[in-house]
Amino acid sequence: MQTIDNQVENKKKIKTYDQKEWIKENLSYKKDSGSWAWILHRITGLALIGYLFLHIYSLSPLTEGKAAFDAKMQQFTTPFFMVLEWFLFAFVLFHALNGIRIVIVDWADGAKYHKPLYRLSWIVGIILFLGMGFLMFSYEIGVLTK
Amino acid sequence: MYKYRASKNSGSKSWVIQRITGIALVVFMIGHYILMHYHPDSGHTYEAVLSRMQYSWYRIIDLSFLVLGMYHGLNGVWNIFRDYNLKPWQNITVLSLILILGIAFTAWGFTIIFSIPYVDTLSLSGN
């Protein structure tokens, strides 16, 4: 039973949500696999749109003809850049596979299997990632295993 | 009682298009990776790019890929900002930046693709 004073008090307390501590708030939540899927999907998505801008910039030597483009591509086929490309593939794989999982959950009655689907997407992703590494660095692997 | 900002627009159209473009991008990406990497040179030499760009349909596919990717990515970024209760001026600023950067980089991509010449097939083989 609320007294008149309490009712007046409650009406004065308009709840707004506090954004000042949002990082700490978010980090304090107990995270299970679905939370990780959500935050990693967001992080990989941001990385990929940033990469898209970089990709357009890095292909601009195409406007300057063969010499400029080939020179720039020589830079990008050094081992350092190839490792970066490999990690980019990891980001692409996670975002794509998790995205497929989201579409299955949303549209193909996949909510029943969302956790097994998540585990499956990790397994498929790791297999494809290692396979790509084997393809990209086949020469170096050959040298190391002689 | 909550203070909130509401909109008549449920956002359902962009939700659906985000998923549809996502699926389309998976298909495009598989093709993109295969084409760029079936041989170490296939994505990294001017000749390889030039020979693919001789086909107009290839250019159209490539440009659609760019537009879809830009839309999906920038819509995603906008969704992240929509999670935060931005004031109207912040909303307008963020949206304008997203639109301007998106249109600018898409236009740049278009000019790059259009700048690749159509060549006589004999000159491709160096004769």
Can you list the domains of chain A with their CATH numbers? Answer: 33-144 (1.20.1300.10)
ipTM: 0.87
Q: Is residue B7 part of a domain?
A: no
Q: Which domain holds residue B18?
A: 13-118
pLDDT value of residue B65: 96
CATH code of B101's domain: 1.20.1300.10
Partners of B19 on chain A (C-beta within 8 Å) are 102-103, 106-107
Residues on chain A touching B115 (C-beta within 8 angstroms): 62-63
**Nearest in space to A140 (alpha carbons), one of A80, A91, A88:** A80
Weakest mean pLDDT among A37-41, A54-58, A108-112, B17-21: A108-112
* pLDDT surpasses 50 at B127: no
What pLDDT is attached to residue B54?
92
Highest mean pLDDT among A2-11, A111-120, B17-26: B17-26
Range B89-110 average pLDDT: 95
Domain membership flag for residue B76: yes
Confidence band for B2, pLDDT divided at 50, 70 and 90:
very low
Categorise residue B118: left if φ over 0, alpha if ψ from -120 to 50, beta otherwise: beta
Q: Which chain A residues are Cβ-neighbours of B80 within 8 angstroms?
A: 42, 46
3-state SS, residue B93: helix
- Rounded distance between C-alpha atoms, residue A102 and residue B4, angstroms: 28
pLDDT > 50? residue A128: yes
* Interface residue of A19, A20, A48, A52 to substitute, partner B, most B CBs within 10 Å: A52
Residue B98 lies in a domain: yes
Q: Mean pLDDT for chain A?
A: 86
Total structural domains within chain B: 1
Tell me B117's DSSP state.
P
**B123 occurs within a structural domain:** no
